[in-house]
């Protein structure tokens, strides 16, 4: 099967979050299963390419014509990577915005990208199925069933749209519709209209052939007002075409047996290297080596409310009365950056903080920490808890989305389970959960069994990739040519 991925970021070329990891891992797994896979990305600043496939593609946005090129980068594990090259739109310091907020022309940028994706399919590589991701590419199915709805080359292409995080929808003022060259007939409740605005993701949810989310529980959650972000009704209407498929991880990059960024490799058969990694982690954050016997909680995250840092702020004082060390890597909301900075100032021997992101340190934390904290308000899938399991670093999570799907609550009596979970989104519940983990940590044999349980789990891409192939086949079978965006 020929599978065409269209996404706004993907490793090893571009990354801001988990979407990029999926675009790096899933195509490789599909290629390993014998499928032919192509990935299309924007050509952001610094992206190196090797050839030009189309020097100019004509894209119409309102009264303006734009002429991006389609260029090719180096293949990755058998997967070809193409790029939409428009320096005015994509050669910028950041992908989606800067310190002032989102770029004002994001609608135009990603409308052009979506149109260029279809032109790429027409001119360069016609796939059997198109796989789009998040709001930045959600216009692809809208365009295929609308402006391109009578084009025999592409009108019947099946489209799968994956929702990585429903909180980000691509909502713009109603005036944007004409600026991106779409007809007014699409400004209606069963298309792009959303409370008087234009919603890119909503359009994709309506016009894609199948929808996926990145965990089974999240697929259920987004059909409720609590997690649906205003689109729960639209999603419930498409529930028969909605599938939750858990993200996989790349164990070639995230595994203590082969990780080149940690102080000493170790495995499920020999955990001695983990103690060396813990000592190295403490040293990396300037914490005293005598802390090695104290339980160490690691955090690697964006500092936003979604990730549960309001709960951490609520319990900070009683938490620090426990005999533990905390190491934090991340950035985001200033109030949470200041929370951790102040904790490090108040407890300099027990709290280490690095504001920003550092991939090397992220690996060190996964390997050197005893526990990994993810108290998210919601979490579509989450990857760090899966990395943590492989590294023998016990996850402490809230039972939501992919966190609930991937972490099994540890039961000391049976020695079954892989981590610790709390249900109620309250500081007291989080604190109780952490205290339970600290209690089990003091039981050396129980803790070792808990670590081994987690390290035995397999969340590689192979199983998830097979599920996507089944879905692609269903999308191909279900494709009935239709035309939308017409009042007739």
* Averaged pLDDT for residues 23-47: 96
Specify if 487 maps to a domain: no
Within this chain, do residues 319 and 437 fall inside the same structural domain, yes or no?
A: yes
pLDDT the model gives residue 18: 85
Q: Are residues 381 and 291 in the same domain?
A: yes
Has residue 185 got a pLDDT over 70? yes
CA dist 175 and 192 (Å) reads: 12
Number of domains forming the structure of the chain: 2
In a domain, 454, yes or no: yes
State the pLDDT confidence band at 357, using cuts at 50, 70 and 90: confident
120 and 175 belong to one structural domain: yes
In a domain, 259, yes or no: no
pLDDT score for 92: 96
Q: Are 484 and 203 in contact (CB under 8 A)?
A: no
pLDDT band at 100 (very low <50, low <70, confident <90, very high): confident
The yes-or-no verdict on residue 486 having pLDDT over 90 is no
Q: Taking residues 444-470, what's their average pLDDT?
A: 96
Q: How many angstroms separate the CA atoms of 267 and 470, rounded?
A: 34
In a domain, 125, yes or no: yes
Residue ranges of E strands in 210-337: 210-213, 242-244, 296-303, 325-332
Contact 484, 143 (CB under 8 A): no
Shared-domain flag, residues 176 and 236: yes
Query: What pLDDT does 305 receive?
Result: 87
Residues 8 and 26 occupy one common structural domain: yes
pLDDT given for residue 290 in this prediction: 86
The dihedral through the CA atoms of 464, 469, 474, 475 has a sign that is: positive
Is the domain of 326 the same as that of 235? no
Q: Could you give the CA distance from residue 8 to residue 107 in angstroms, rounded to a whole number?
A: 13
In terms of Cβ atoms closer than 10 Å to its own Cβ (0-12, 13-18, 19+), residue 151 is middle
In a domain? residue 254: no
In a shared domain, residues 421 and 471: no
pLDDT at 312: 97
**Is residue 482 pLDDT above 60, yes or no?**
no
Is 264 part of any domain?
no
Range of the domain at 38: 2-248+463-478
> In which residue are the tokens 């089944």 written?
470
Find the angle CA(335)-CA(339)-CA(340) to the nearest 5 degrees. Answer: 130
Residue 488 has a pLDDT of: 37
Q: For the packed helices 18-32 and 461-478, what is the interaxial angle rounded to 10 degrees?
A: 80
How confident is the prediction for the chain on average, in pLDDT? Answer: 95
Contact 23, 39 (CB under 8 A): yes
DSSP 263-298: SS--BTTB-HHHHHHHHHHHHHTT--GGGGGS-EEE
- Angle between helices 427-441 and 444-455 in degrees, nearest 10: 110
What was the pLDDT predicted at 278? 98
Separation of alpha carbons 90 and 84, rounded Å: 9
CATH code at position 305: 3.40.50.2000
pLDDT, tens digit, for every residue of 334-352? 999 999 999 999 999 999 9
Instruction: Please tell me whether residues 350 and 430 are part of one structural domain.
Output: yes
- Is the same domain home to 217 and 325? no
Same domain for 278 and 223, yes or no, is: no
Beta strands in 27-79 (DSSP E): 36-42, 51-54, 59-61, 64-66, 69-72
What's the helix, strand, coil split of the chain in %, to 5?
A: 40, 20, 40
Give the per-residue pLDDT at 484.
Answer: 52
- Please check whether residue 403 lies inside any domain of the structure: yes
pLDDT tens digits, one per residue of 408-449:
999 989 999 999 999 999 999 999 999 999 999 999 999 999
Q: What is the mean pLDDT of residues 117-138?
A: 97
* Confidence (pLDDT) at 64: 87
- Both 161 and 24 in one domain: the answer is yes
Spatial strand order of the sheet with 325-332 comes to 351-355, 325-332, 296-303, 371-374, 394-398, 420-422
Instruction: Give me the pLDDT at residue 479, please.
Output: 84
pLDDT digits (tens, 9 = 90+) for 281-308: 999 999 999 889 999 999 999 898 899 9
pLDDT in tens, 28-38: 999 999 999 99
Query: DSSP state, 307?
Result: G
- Strand-pair partners of 163: 213
* Same domain membership, residue 296 and residue 149: no
Contact assessment for residue 325 and residue 350, using Cβ atoms and an 8 Å cutoff: yes
Is position 255 within any domain? no
> Rounded to whole angstroms, how far apart are CA atoms 66 and 404?
45
Checking if the pLDDT of 234 tops 80, the result is yes
């Amino acid at each position: 099967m020929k599978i065409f991925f269209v996404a706004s970021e993907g490793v090893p070329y571009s990354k801001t979050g988990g979407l990029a990891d999926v675009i790096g891992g899933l195509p490789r797994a599909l290629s390993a299963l014998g499928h032919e896979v192509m990935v299309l990305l924007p050509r952001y600043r610094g992206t190196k390419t090797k050839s030009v496939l189309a020097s100019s593609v004509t894209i119409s946005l309102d009264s303006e014509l734009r002429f991006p090129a389609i260029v090719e980068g180096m293949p990755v594990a058998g997967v070809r990577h193409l790029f939409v090259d428009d320096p005015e739109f994509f050669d910028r310091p950041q992908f989606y915005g800067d310190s002032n907020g989102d770029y004002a022309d994001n609608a135009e940028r990603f409308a052009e990208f979506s149109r260029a994706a279809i032109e790429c399919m027409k001119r360069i590589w016609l796939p059997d199925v198109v796989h789009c991701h998040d709001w930045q590419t959600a216009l692809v199915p809208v365009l295929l069933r609308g402006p391109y709805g009578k084009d025999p080359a592409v009108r019947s292409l099946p489209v799968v749209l994956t929702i990585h995080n429903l909180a980000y929808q691509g909502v713009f003022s109603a005036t944007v519709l004409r600026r991106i060259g779409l007809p007014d007939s699409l400004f209606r409740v069963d298309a792009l209209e959303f409370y008087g605005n234009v919603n890119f993701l909503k359009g994709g949810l309506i016009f894609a052939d199948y929808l996926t989310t990145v965990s089974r529980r999240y697929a259920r959650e987004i059909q409720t007002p609590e997690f649906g972000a205003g689109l729960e009704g639209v999603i419930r209407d498409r529930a028969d075409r909605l599938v939750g498929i858990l993200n996989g991880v790349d164990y070639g990059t995230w595994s203590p047996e082969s990780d080149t960024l940690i102080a000493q490799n170790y495995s499920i058969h020999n955990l001695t290297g983990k103690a060396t990694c813990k000592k190295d982690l403490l040293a990396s954050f300037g914490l005293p080596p005598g802390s090695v016997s104290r339980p160490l909680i690691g955090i690697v995250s964006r500092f936003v409310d979604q990730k549960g840092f309001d709960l951490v702020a609520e319990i900070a004082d009683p938490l620090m009365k426990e005999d533990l060390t905390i190491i934090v890597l991340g950035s985001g909301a200033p109030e949470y950056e200041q929370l951790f900075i102040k904790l490090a100032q108040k407890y300099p021997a027990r709290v280490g903080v690095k504001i920003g992101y550092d991939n090397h340190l992220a690996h060190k934390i996964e390997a050197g920490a005893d526990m990994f904290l993810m108290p998210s308000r919601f979490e579509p899938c989450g990857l760090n808890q899966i990395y943590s399991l492989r590294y023998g670093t016990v996850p402490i999570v809230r039972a939501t989305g992919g966190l609930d799907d991937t972490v099994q609550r540890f039961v000391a009596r049976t020695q079954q389970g892989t981590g610790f979970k709390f249900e109620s989104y309250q500081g007291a519940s989080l604190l109780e959960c952490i205290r339970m983990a600290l209690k089990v940590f003091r039981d050396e044999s129980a803790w070792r069994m808990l670590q081994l349980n987690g390290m035995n789990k397999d969340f590689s891409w192979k199983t998830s990739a097979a599920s996507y192939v089944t879905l692609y086949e269903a999308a191909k079978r279900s494709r009935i040519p239709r035309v939308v965006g017409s009042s007739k």
